Structure 1
Amino acid sequence: MTFNPLEERGIPLDRQLRDWSELNVEPIDPDRCDPYTRCRIITMNGIEVEAILFSHHLARNTVDPEVKRQLARTRYIEAQQQKVVNWLLPGVASVLETTIAYEQVAVDLTAWVARMEPDPYLKQAYEFGVLEDFDHLYRYANLYEMIEHRKAESIVDGLTEVMPGRPTRFHHRDPYDNVRAPYAKDETDPLSKLHALTIMSAEQQTMNYYMNVGPQYMEPIARRLYQEIGLIEEEHVTHYESLVDPGETWWEQLVTHEYNECYLYYSFMEQESDPKVRAVWELHLNMELEHLHIACDLMRRHDGRDPASVLAPRLPNVLTFEPNKGYLRELLDTQMDLTTLGAGYVRDAHERFESMQERIHGGEAPPSDQVIAQHGSMFGREYRVQTEGEHPDPAQREK
């Protein structure tokens, strides 16, 4: 790939404002769309939300009114982009259906990033996290069949397996052990920076989504499950955000955010099967190219450095949504029993982990276990009958 966003010019900022008719995009058809189209939409919503929040944080930490105004101008367009992207999701989809799609994003996006990550320490961080999202998908799939009497496979369309991962009950760790060691900003591959920002943004959006939609359910088991997994998503955001070098200046972070948006819109434009959605990705890419140049100008002016010194000279290979079944099966076989200790990983439970487990569960089964038990009582079977070669249910192994 030779596309270099630093050399490409996009749509001038003063021509990017859209009116209501342009913002009111037609949503995808949930029964006919490519599941990975929905995954790309959810991913880009998380990326745009992170871009907006970061811009707000930067504005709150600068005394220069002209910088604040420039950020506000770009941020308003980012907010329009976020509305367009998120409004591509159909209103007819239930909260649980969207939740299952969020977990499909977490599984296949994180698995792909782990496969492509050049840094072994960062790769391990993604491999550790993906086995937990894999189990969240399974727990929500049980809830979906209980409440809406449909199978999660109707949403993921067989592209992502729905089966147990590392049991959710074991995801509750002492916060001390959720903080990882950061990459070194002047030594790490620029691709690693994009990976870290992408996964952090996606997990942050999942955390925000669960925090807000969980109380909308009347069913007690649904409310409890969202509460439990919502807490784990907070752990995941801590896990991933700690990978980013805190020594990066605001301006380094700003240009990396804008570069990452170019990278992802370009990637998704290249693989999108829905022509209407592809047109959105292409338009937003051309907007983001200009946002990147504005950010680069701010970095030169206020940081005194050339953005090319911290960014990749050209876009990496496109980030791809694709099945990762074999890779995930391998991780299930080799990393199921891992937990964290300090900034590293161990296979044996330790004092802080056991103390957290005892305190959070309080002697009763957590909601993630309750949903499996209630599903079994309701249907008289496991959610999915095991076939030869599938990894055994870890809940059964514990007995």
Structure 2
Amino acid sequence: MTFNPLQERGIPLDRQVRNWRELNVLPIDPDRTDPYTRCRIITMNGIEIEAILFSHHFARHCREPEVRQRLAETRYIEAQQQKAVNWLLPGVSSVLETTIAYEQVAVDLTAWVARMEPDDYLRQAYQFGVLEDFDHLYRYANLYEMIEHRKAEKIVDQLTEVMPGRPTAMHHRDPVDNVREPYDRATAAPISKLHALTIMSAEQQTMNFYMNVGPSYMEPIARQLYQEIGLIEEEHVTHYESLVDPGETWWEQLVNHEYNECYMYHSFMETETDPKVKAIWELHLNMELEHLHIAADLMRRHDGRDPGEVVAPALPRPVMFEPNKEYLRELIATQIDYTTLGTGYVQEAHERFRRFQERIHDDVEPPSERVIDENRARSGEEYRLETEGTHPLYSLRTH
């Protein structure tokens, strides 16, 4: 059954403001909840944060008071939605446990998008990035074992493997090589636009999270690892945001943002296993339908175009959180040695890459390698979680 959000009516905007009692959501139980429920929560927090930030940036570039007022009205509701979503996370989880969950999101969401992406160039961008997030999960899992004396399977269960991807130390590239070619807004498939916006939003919230929580640790290795991976997350945001066509008008971007929120809430409403969380996805979908209609009206009035020209006539198949183990193993076996050159990819380290590596590392072992060495020294072996089969990197050193 198709679902066209442009033809569906949601909750009127003047009935969307919630009081404190309604915003006081019950957090999930980290010991009993499906790990993918937590992944959906983290994903929607990133989607809402991007919606809020985009609305603020739009307002700063808009002269019409009426438009700025409409943006402010919907933005306040988006802010309430973000609070309800993010406050579903349990306060008993440590920062590092939440970090591991963030990386599980990055791995399984990006892998799923890569599998579904119809454009070869865009698919390669997601395949490239996911191998780096996969390695970040491995580094943080070893930090978790070392300073909290727990194992990451407590968080990721058996759904996502924990083992080396493209070594984190090799992720530091000359900034010019992090910029990709954008899709063409006139010819790109609507699903490609949604994919780019979704992954950019997810990586952006990870970048922001690491920038803020990294200094909260006392252990030097933890502070340094967050600093290193936080820098790489900035590279990833550059990588993914450059996929979006900068020729899209503000109105077109607004419609794409609201449509994507409808898509993501609808996807998670369809796939959620926790009834209480599913009810929140359904409520927020009905709010977003009205936000989309407001954006669509603004586009018709100020851009002179119908929103049906830029979005799909029906929502694509739902976004799924599911294991991607074999897909990731195949990528590791075939693309582990990739780096970027200009807007493309190469399998041999080029001169600009080597120069930047020398500058950033300067003959000092990076934190991402030291965390493995230190955990191996303390625990007797590094931490890995292999759920089935033999991993192609088991015989390789990570440094």
Please state which band the TM-score falls in when normalised by the shorter chain: over 0.9
Contact kept? 1:296, 1:307, Cα under 8 Å = yes
Contact kept? 2:26, 2:88, Cα under 8 Å = yes
**What CA deviation, in whole Å up to 9, does each residue of 1:287-337 have, x standing for no partner?**
000000000000000000000000000000000000000100000000000
Following TM superposition, by how much is the alpha carbon of 1:384 offset from its aligned partner in structure 2, in angstroms?
A: 2.8
What corresponds to 1:102 in structure 2?
A: 102
1:212 maps onto 2:178 in alignment? no
What corresponds to 2:194 in structure 1?
A: 194
Aligned 1:27-42 pairs, distance under 5 A: 27-42=27-42
Aligned 1:1-399 pairs, distance under 5 A: 1-384=1-384, 389-393=390-394, 396=397
Following TM superposition, by how much is the alpha carbon of 1:393 offset from its aligned partner in structure 2, in angstroms?
A: 4.4
TM-score, normalised with respect to structure 2: 0.98
Letter in 1 for 2:13: L
**What CA deviation, in whole Å up to 9, does each residue of 1:242-293 have, x standing for no partner?**
0000000000000000000000000000011111000000000000000000
Letter in 1 for 2:81: Q
Instruction: Tell me how far apart the structure 2 counterparts of residues 126 and 61 of structure 1 sit (CA, whole Å).
Output: 31
Contact kept? 1:164, 1:394, Cα under 8 Å = no
Contact kept? 1:104, 1:137, Cα under 8 Å = yes
Following TM superposition, by how much is the alpha carbon of 1:394 offset from its aligned partner in structure 2, in angstroms?
A: 7.7
Contact kept? 2:167, 2:398, Cα under 8 Å = no
**What CA deviation, in whole Å up to 9, does each residue of 1:157-177 have, x standing for no partner?**
010000100000000000000
Instruction: Tell me how far apart the structure 2 counterparts of residues 256 and 394 of structure 1 sit (CA, whole Å).
Output: 45
Instruction: Tell me how far apart the structure 1 counterparts of residues 140 and 31 of structure 2 sit (CA, whole Å).
Output: 19
| Percent identical residues | 77
Structure 1 runs not aligned, ≥5 long: none
- Name the SS of the counterpart of 1:320 in structure 2: coil
TM-score, normalised with respect to structure 1: 0.98
Following TM superposition, by how much is the alpha carbon of 1:134 offset from its aligned partner in structure 2, in angstroms?
A: 0.1
Letter in 1 for 2:100: I
Summarize the Cα distance change of 1:373–1:286 in structure 2 as closer, same or farther, 3 Å threshold. Answer: same
Following TM superposition, by how much is the alpha carbon of 1:367 offset from its aligned partner in structure 2, in angstroms?
A: 0.2
- Name the SS of the counterpart of 1:318 in structure 2: coil
Summarize the Cα distance change of 1:325–1:24 in structure 2 as closer, same or farther, 3 Å threshold. Answer: same
Summarize the Cα distance change of 1:233–1:385 in structure 2 as closer, same or farther, 3 Å threshold. Answer: closer
Following TM superposition, by how much is the alpha carbon of 1:396 offset from its aligned partner in structure 2, in angstroms?
A: 1.3
Contact kept? 2:113, 2:195, Cα under 8 Å = yes
User: What's the Cα RMSD here?
Assistant: 1.1
Letter in 1 for 2:143: L
Structure 2 runs not aligned, ≥5 long: none
Letter in 2 for 1:348: E
Instruction: Tell me how far apart the structure 2 counterparts of residues 261 and 397 of structure 1 sit (CA, whole Å).
Output: 39
- Name the SS of the counterpart of 1:301 in structure 2: helix
Following TM superposition, by how much is the alpha carbon of 1:9 offset from its aligned partner in structure 2, in angstroms?
A: 0.1
Contact kept? 1:165, 1:394, Cα under 8 Å = no
- Name the SS of the counterpart of 1:68 in structure 2: helix
Q: Number of matched residues?
A: 398
